[in-house]
Amino acid sequence: MAWTERRLNSHFAVELTGPKLSLDLPQRERDAVYEAVIREGVVVVRNQDLTDDELETFAASLGRVLSYGEIGNNLPNVLPITNVGRDGKLLSADDDLMRASVANMLWHIDSTYTKPRATVSMLLAKVLPPTGGNTEFCDLRHAWENLSPQEQASFRGMTASHSIIHSRTLTGYDDWTDEIRAKLPSIDRPLVREHEETGRTALLIASHIESLTGLSTQETVALVKDLTARATTPDNVYSHAWQPGDLLLWDNRCVMHRATPYEMDKYPRDVRTARLVDVAEMAAA
């Protein structure tokens, strides 16, 4: 294999050093990146100066790229996550992209609130602020393994209802029209799930959870808060300090993540994201 691995956390996450993710990269080397993501949960590959088209092409070599058009949104397959507008100026605090960026600072899993869900997410750094703006990850397999047998037994079989409206509302982003609310219904998912490719069990917690079977609203809030705190202890968190050209890949089936603050009103930040879709869930839809 052309890749050299360096461990980033004792439980999960590695950095891969090796070739550029160019069009002539052999498929076996692309597969090795994917296999590391599935095994480790998070993979960092530095010095990747990719265009949006190149990022989408690389993503498509690993699996089916999530097409937002197929789930009813008129968006490109590679999305900018940025505080810079088309005019090159910093966006205002009330812009939807800025409000979404604030909501991304909650611990979450990508696309649990849609069907089909995203399996692997990718984030490529283009323009970065001088300080801040890290992305943090925690291993939900390790979080599950640290639960007592009694807790594990009680959580198996529980269903969580995920809603992007719920998580956005937690940050004050709540002026949704009835039309948008109708397009974004809650999605039920198991609280505990075995990974299809590794067989390892993980908790699937996220700020998107608005209710849990058998629990009141207050009990749901308390349990999600408790499980999140226990999943994000310092020994189980990897905090990535970005450099331009960094490409991060992570498996939404076993890790949770969040953005961290930076001076959004002062410095530009531009990263690009692409996601792989759960083809089994797509077929079942």
Question: What structural domains does the chain harbor?
Answer: 4-284 (3.60.130.10)
pTM of the complete model: 0.95
- Residue 97: its pLDDT value, please? 87
Give the separation between CA 109 and CA 3, rounded to whole angstroms.
27
Q: In order along the chain (285 residues), what is the average pLDDT of each group of 10 residues?
A: 93 96 93 98 96 95 85 77 93 90 95 95 97 97 98 97 95 86 93 97 97 97 98 98 98 98 96 95 82
Helical H segments across 116-271, by residue range? 140-145, 149-155, 164-169, 178-183, 217-231
Which sign does the torsion angle of CA 235, 166, 148, 250 carry? negative
33-43: b (≥16 Cβ within 10 Å) or e: bbebbbbbbbb
